[in-house]
């Protein structure tokens, strides 16, 4: 069942890119959002599912693009007084697709041809889920692509208009102020100009920093004096030392300066600015955050120095880290529903980048992740804190199954605590209060897990349990189950291959990942089979082959029952 609630299209698009920016910047890709001026922003629909679809499209674009740009656009195709026909697209400069690949793309379990499968990861079963969701919304999804040139995935969707919300107001109005703009990337510059003008600023674009400084100097003490300089930079274009001197020169001309840089270079450019929290922002800029930061930047010092709300009354800021999008979605949803401010990232590298860029009260860290796992990410964060003589940020491990010696290992790596999946709203609220001193809204009473009368042993599919694990949120429970089912065939095949190759470590990692996903779904039989197989493998115990056979049968039974009940 789809939601029909008000949301802001621009915020949804920009917030999605904010979450995925570290992955793009790690590959030195430019990430841009363009929301065309005539596009209605206040709409009604299902923002959770739209965010899920956009996340999948942008993630795939990042995965298959070696260099260049990824642009997310939203534009108006047609409208009436009550509805807007929208086109939302994600365009990349990646490897592109042949016409044969395009025909196969949205079919379940296809990965285009061998040339694509040799790239880092497949196009993803998420496209199949995205297509189904868009069709449920009455829309259409497609792709235009040329091999070697890139692809543009697009969504055509008709949504009801919502009542326009009054824009959030800040201390100082920006209307009428003049801003000098520097951004070398054409599309990023166009997007930034639009955002600044939407904030009420008059913009003048310069093609390099020297010309910008000359322009500000020439306008100084004239009626057209420039109040702000907004600089989009990378370390390849200018060093922090050189930028710091230019910032000093501009501020001597009464011109405030804001710097926009890639998320991966945030720590580097901290050396160039005086006030990290207002002067330094991550690309791509989010209009809502940009307006707030600019308002604070030009405010008198007394206003800017004003302290925030008391510790006990503000919302805790939590970083959630997990390589499984379904697990990430659930924890993020539970926390946000209780009033927390959440930043969600996939993987250890993104977690380290996020901690170096932004301030958090708590980190919830998955343990087993590809690339940099949770232990390694924690060790990197602790080393970074030690170099700067900073106090330790509380880090709590999230694990599907940890034996006693593994729990000791988690604490030895620098983690402060651990929670075993599945995690309830009440557990999350308790761990946030324990480590931050900040109270969340009271969680809903936990549902009791009752098996049907007369049933013996774990069920194959238990919708009541799934609803309980999703804190009573039916749509979230359905999403979690759909994402698990979509990956089952790939999980079964990976387990079969690792078993045939007698690769015990690969077996443990894949079963652990599957086990983590089952912890948030009403699939008790598969969850039990995963836990038994994982435990026996870790202990190098007897009956491992039998446990793996039982796991394979549990996967088959779940797939079969899901088809029957679909």
What is the CATH classification number for the domain harbouring 192? Answer: 3.40.50.2300
3-state secondary structure of 90: strand
The overall average pLDDT reported for the chain is 83
**The two structure tokens encoding residue 348:** 């250890």
Is 143 found in the same domain as 113?
yes
Q: Quick check: is 336 in a domain?
A: yes
Is 154 found in the same domain as 9?
yes
What whole-number distance in Å separates Cα of residue 22 and Cα of residue 499? 34
Q: What is the pLDDT of residue 165?
A: 53
Is 323 found in the same domain as 271?
no
This model's pTM is above 0.75 = no
pLDDT in tens, 46-66: 988 898 899 889 988 998 899
Q: Quick check: is 517 in a domain?
A: yes
172 φ, ψ to 5°? Answer: -125, 125
Q: Quick check: is 333 in a domain?
A: yes
What whole-number distance in Å separates Cα of residue 138 and Cα of residue 156? 9
Is 221 found in the same domain as 127?
no
User: What is the arithmetic mean of pLDDT over 19-45?
Assistant: 92
Query: Does residue 311 carry a pLDDT above 70?
Result: no
- Count of structural domains within the chain: 4
User: What is the arithmetic mean of pLDDT over 142-171?
Assistant: 81
| Most confident of the ranges 174-188, 300-314, 367-381, 436-450 | 174-188
Q: Which domain holds residue 414?
A: 314-436
pLDDT band at 107 (very low <50, low <70, confident <90, very high): low
CA-to-CA dists, residue 19 to 195, 235, 536, angstroms: 19, 21, 37
Last residue of a domain, one of 301, 327, 362: 301
From the number of C-beta atoms within 10 Å of its C-beta (0-12, 13-18, 19+), residue 292 rates as middle
pLDDT band at 473 (very low <50, low <70, confident <90, very high): confident
Is 296 found in the same domain as 331?
no
User: What is the arithmetic mean of pLDDT over 65-72?
Assistant: 94
pLDDT band at 294 (very low <50, low <70, confident <90, very high): confident
Q: Quick check: is 267 in a domain?
A: yes
What is the CATH classification number for the domain harbouring 156? Answer: 3.30.565.10
Q: What is the pLDDT of residue 81?
A: 93
Is 156 found in the same domain as 206?
no
Higher pLDDT, 172 or 148: 148
What whole-number distance in Å separates Cα of residue 203 and Cα of residue 398? 47
Is 156 found in the same domain as 18?
yes
Last residue of a domain, one of 301, 336, 351: 301
Last residue of a domain, one of 126, 160, 194: 160
Is 138 found in the same domain as 30?
yes
Is 318 found in the same domain as 222?
no
Q: Quick check: is 18 in a domain?
A: yes
**Contact (Cβ atoms closer than 8 angstroms) between residue 452 and residue 330:** no
Output the CA torsion sign for 202, 208, 212, 214: negative
Q: Quick check: is 165 in a domain?
A: no
Share of the chain above pLDDT 90, in %: 37
Q: Quick check: is 85 in a domain?
A: yes
Q: What is the pLDDT of residue 33?
A: 95
Is 351 found in the same domain as 282?
no
Instruction: Please report, in angstroms and rounded to a whole number, the separation of the first and last CA atoms in the chain.
Output: 13
Is 334 found in the same domain as 262?
no
Q: What is the pLDDT of residue 556?
A: 92
Is 151 found in the same domain as 20?
yes
What is the CATH classification number for the domain harbouring 540? Answer: 1.20.120.160
**The two structure tokens encoding residue 238:** 């200018």
CA-to-CA dists, residue 517 to 68, 107, 564, angstroms: 34, 23, 21
Q: Quick check: is 308 in a domain?
A: no
């Amino acid at each position: 069942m789809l939601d029909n609630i008000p949301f802001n299209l621009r915020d949804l698009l920009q917030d999605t890119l904010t979450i995925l920016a570290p992955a793009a910047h790690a590959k030195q890709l430019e990430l841009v959002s363009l929301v065309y001026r005539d596009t209605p922003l206040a709409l009604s629909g299902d923002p959770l599912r739209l965010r899920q679809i956009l996340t999948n499209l942008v993630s795939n674009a990042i995965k298959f693009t070696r260099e260049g740009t990824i642009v997310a656009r939203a534009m108006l195709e047609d409208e009436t007084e009550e509805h807007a026909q929208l086109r939302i697209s994600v365009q990349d400069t990646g490897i592109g697709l042949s016409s044969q690949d395009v025909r196969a793309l949205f079919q379940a379990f296809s990965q285009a041809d061998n040339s694509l499968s040799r790239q880092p990861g497949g196009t993803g079963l998420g496209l199949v889920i995205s297509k189904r969701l868009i069709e449920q919304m009455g829309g259409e999804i497609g792709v235009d692509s040329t091999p070697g040139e890139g692809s543009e995935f697009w969504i055509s969707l008709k949504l009801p208009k919502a009542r326009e919300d009054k824009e959030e107001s800040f201390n100082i109005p920006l209307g009428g102020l003049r801003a000098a703009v520097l951004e070398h990337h054409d599309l990023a510059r166009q997007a930034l100009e639009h955002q600044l003008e939407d904030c009420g600023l008059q913009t003048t674009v310069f093609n390099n920093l020297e010309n910008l400084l000359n322009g500000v100097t020439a306008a100084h003490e004239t009626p057209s004096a420039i109040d702000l300089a907004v600089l989009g930079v990378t370390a390849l274009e200018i060093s922090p030392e050189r930028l710091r001197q230019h910032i000093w020169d501009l501020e001597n001309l009464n011109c405030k300066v804001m710097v926009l840089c890639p998320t991966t270079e945030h720590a580097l450019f901290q050396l160039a600015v005086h006030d990290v929290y207002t002067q330094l922002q991550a690309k791509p800029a989010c209009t809502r955050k940009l307006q707030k930061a600019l308002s604070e930047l030009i405010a008198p010092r007394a206003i800017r120095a004003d302290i925030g709300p008391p510790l006990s009354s503000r919302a805790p800021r939590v970083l959630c880290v997990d390589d499984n999008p379904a697990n990430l979605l659930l924890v993020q949803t539970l926390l946000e529903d209780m009033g927390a401010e959440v930043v969600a990232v996939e993987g250890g590298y993104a977690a380290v980048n996020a901690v170096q860029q932004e301030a958090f009260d708590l980190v919830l860290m998955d343990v087993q992740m590809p690339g940099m796992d949770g232990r390694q990410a924690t060790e990197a964060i602790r080393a970074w804190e030690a170099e700067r003589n900073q106090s330790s940020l509380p880090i709590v491990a999230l694990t599907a199954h940890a034996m006693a010696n593994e729990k000791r290992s988690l604490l030895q790596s620098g983690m402060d605590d651990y929670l075993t999946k599945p995690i309830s709203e009440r557990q999350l609220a308790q761990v946030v209060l324990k480590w931050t001193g900040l109270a969340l809204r009271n969680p809903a009473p936990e549902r009791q897990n009752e098996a049907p009368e007369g049933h013996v042993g774990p069920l194959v599919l238990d919708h009541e349990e799934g609803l309980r694990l999703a804190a009573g949120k039916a749509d979230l429970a359905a999403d979690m189950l759909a994402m698990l089912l979509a990956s089952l065939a790939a999980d079964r095949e990976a387990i079969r291959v690792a078993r045939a190759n007698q690769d015990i470590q690969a077996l443990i990692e894949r079963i652990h990942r599957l086990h983590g996903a089952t912890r948030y779904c009403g699939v008790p039989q598969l969850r039990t089979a995963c836990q038994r197989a994982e435990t026996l493998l870790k202990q190098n115990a007897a009956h491992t082959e039998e446990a793996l056979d039982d796991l394979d049968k549990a996967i088959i039974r779940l797939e079969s029952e899901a088809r029957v009940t679909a």
